[in-house]
Chain A
């Protein structure tokens, strides 16, 4: 046992001596959290619009005012003719064009109907869709306000936003960020640190030492469990103090689940390192095959339910998806283990599966 601890301490020295990596390792969660909290929002505001308004009467001015005061839109320019639409889109800034028909207020009064055209720049379909929705919502509200005395029998919807009343983006990103960074540190760093010994030839020295292979592997990954755990604490504390992301449920359960996820990622890292012989390949596998799916197939940014079913099947094979669901449940919904036991057991299953596979693949002899 004393030999083993000696080995672990050596590994710690290796890591702490490399202050540059350490700085990045601990700086990364902070920088990324700030990025997510302040910079990356998927809400849209101040979208530039252009307006073609030949009638310029009370109603069109009122509607334009309502649109511009909503905070979603900024008037970029007034068009002089319809033919300019193509030009403003192609130049790239304007996202939405509004075209009133001429004599707008007049027609509305006389015939009870006037026409309005909304054109979105759908080369970015998501933004276009959302902006058109916002604009038509504002116009619908305006209509209700001018008709209010006349319309009987109205159904009034009351909307309640659960768990995230202000619709903050950080609520989504804190769980995702934890899943991503823990995966990076645990899977990637361990696989690199083990293959590094192989590449430099020092693995042979370790294998002929009286340490058993299992001890070598555990000793190698132990410091990373520690680092990853500290990192997840940093994310939680920063998320809570700076951005006010709450921890509704039990913090101990949350930390235990994180530990489970870290173990899962570590066993994946061990598996990767047992099938590769060079750092470059280990890194490529981890980064290309793990990082992008962790970001895109886990419900981190894009909701899983919206994907085609065949991809949803893929998503169910992604461990981060389960972890993100667990964290969201515990942190934001305040649920206990009864609500997440299913996901938890899947994570345990993944861990055992990866470990068994790497034990099978592990070669004590190097070529």
Chain B
């Protein structure tokens, strides 16, 4: 036991002695949390648009006013030539063109229907879809108002309508930050944990101090425990710190039990840290270790459901995702923090993590050899 304590003490000393390492571990992630949470938003506003109004009638002008008044759109450019507008889109200055052809008002009244065009920059498919939805909504609204103004009430009464009420549970204002804070927090803790542990043993290999440990009577399990514990404590502390910042600055809800969060975090960190140590034992240089860590990290992050939803992935990818520890922990964090889910709700994410942790720790211990 005393041997383990010595190793732990040594690792702590090494971390805290390194003046440039400390801010990287503690301050940079928090700064990132604050910045990135604000950046990670799909919320649409200020869609930059151009209006090409060739009709120049009261109706067409009112229609473009309707867009001007909306919070989603920002009319940046107006012209009488469609080509000029398209050129603006090519330059990247606008993302939507509203094209009202000549004779629009006349057609609407005489022919009973008239056409307009929305031209949308669709390089980002998702924003394009939403831009389409919003602009169609505004158009329908305008159409309804137009009918009320120009039609007699008797005719209007025959039109059937469905009144739809929307409500958003758990987050009525659709505040994106409360959703992102738990996820990004997991991300930062994971990155720090994986890098600290992944670079650790291989660094000793590279500078040769591993030999000195190999000739001591320390057992493999003691060595791995000693290496793991300090990072485990640092990462848990970082999580607590980040949660505090999230609560103070972003006022994220903490609906469920904090004990449940930290219990899951404790298990999760075993997975990540032993995975890091495993990388560290199989590689020869820090550069290699970093590449391997980065390779897995990017895949884990992208498939974790942090930025995109897991349900829309193909079935084989969802099967593969069961191997992704990040997915489990992000799910647990979001469910417990945002919805107040209890242990029974999260158990189908919790137990796989436990199994994963047991496997990863034993694998790390087994793979570590006391030979250079």
Contact = CB atoms under 8 A, between A and B. Distances in A.
Given A281-B20, A284-B21, A162 B89 contact: yes
B91 interface: yes
Given A35-B303, A153-B150, A328 B312 contact: no
Given A44-B309, A116-B162, A150-B158, A192 B287 contact: yes
B151 A152 contact: yes
A39 B120 CA distance: 25
Interface string B28-40: 1100100110111
B169 A121 contact: yes
Max count, chain B CB within 10 A of own CB: residue among A114, A123, A311: A123
A210 interface: no
Contacts of A150: 155, 158-159
Contact of B125 (A113, A116, A167): A167
A196 interface: yes
Interface in B139-179: 139-140, 142-143, 146-147, 150-151, 155, 157-172, 174-176, 178-179
Given A20-B288, A125-B171, A153-B150, A116 B117 contact: no
Interface string A183-219: 0100011001100100110000000000000000000
Given A91-B345, A133-B133, A172 B140 contact: no
A172 B127 CA distance: 11
Contacts of A292: 32, 36, 187
Nearest to A117: B165
A293 B162 CA distance: 45
B306 to A, nearest CB: 10
Contacts of B136: 137, 157, 159
B124 interface: yes
B43 A306 contact: yes
A287 B195 contact: yes
Contact of A147 (B160, B171, B298): B160
Interface string A149-166: 011111111111111110
A153 B148 CA distance: 11
Given A90-B340, A153-B112, A155-B142, A133 B314 contact: no
Contact of A116 (B164, B179, B287): B164
Nearest to B117: A158
A272 to B, nearest CB: 12
B42 interface: yes
Max count, chain A CB within 10 A of own CB: residue among B165, B166, B199, B339: B166
B54 interface: no
B245 interface: no
Given A18-B288, A162-B121, A153 B163 contact: no
A351 interface: no
Interface in A271-310: 276, 279-281, 283-285, 287-289, 292-293, 296-297, 301-303, 305-308
B292 interface: yes
B283 interface: yes
Contacts of B109: 153
A288 B24 contact: yes
A9 interface: no
Contacts of A128: 168, 171, 174
Contacts of A129: 42-43, 174
Interface in B95-127: 95, 108-109, 112-127
A164 B130 CA distance: 15
A159 B132 contact: yes
A332 interface: yes
Given A40-B302, A150-B159, A158 B116 contact: yes
A122 B49 CA distance: 29
A307 B39 contact: yes
Contacts of A163: 121-123
A329 interface: yes
A281 to B, nearest CB: 5
A280 B199 contact: yes
A21 interface: yes
B20 A276 contact: yes
Interface string B273-291: 0000000000111111011
Contact of A112 (B24, B161, B175, B187): B161
Given A157-B135, A157-B139, A41 B312 contact: yes
Contact of B287 (A118, A279, A308, A339): A279
Interface stretch (A23-31, A259-267, A357-365): A23-31
The bracket for how many chain A residues form the interface is: 35 or more
Nearest to A101: B163
Interface stretch (B1-9, B217-225, B330-338, B359-367): B330-338
A241 interface: no
B294 interface: yes
A48 interface: yes
B160 A196 contact: no
A164 B287 contact: no
Contacts of A132: 166, 168
Interface string A129-150: 1101110110110010011001
A140 B29 CA distance: 45
A193 B285 CA distance: 11
B312 A125 contact: no
Nearest to A201: B207
B352 to A, nearest CB: 15
B240 interface: no
A93 to B, nearest CB: 9
Given A116-B165, A196-B285, A297-B39, A42 B308 contact: yes
A243 to B, nearest CB: 13
Contacts of B132: 159, 161
A122 B175 CA distance: 9
7 contacts: A31-B299, A42-B307, A119-B166, A125-B43, A152-B112, A164-B128, A311-B35
Ranked nearest first, the 7 interchain pairs of A and B with the lowest CB-CB distance are A167-B125, A122-B168, A161-B122, A122-B171, A123-B338, A125-B174, A164-B122
Interface of B: 18, 20-21, 24, 28-29, 32, 35-36, 38-48, 63, 89-92, 95, 108-109, 112-130, 132-133, 135-136, 139-140, 142-143, 146-147, 150-151, 155, 157-172, 174-176, 178-179, 187, 191-192, 195, 199, 203, 206-207, 283-288, 290-292, 294-295, 298-299, 302-303, 307-309, 311-314, 317, 331, 334-335, 338-341, 345
Given A125-B179, A137-B136, A172-B125, 4 more contacts: A122-B168, A189-B287, A279-B287, A287-B290
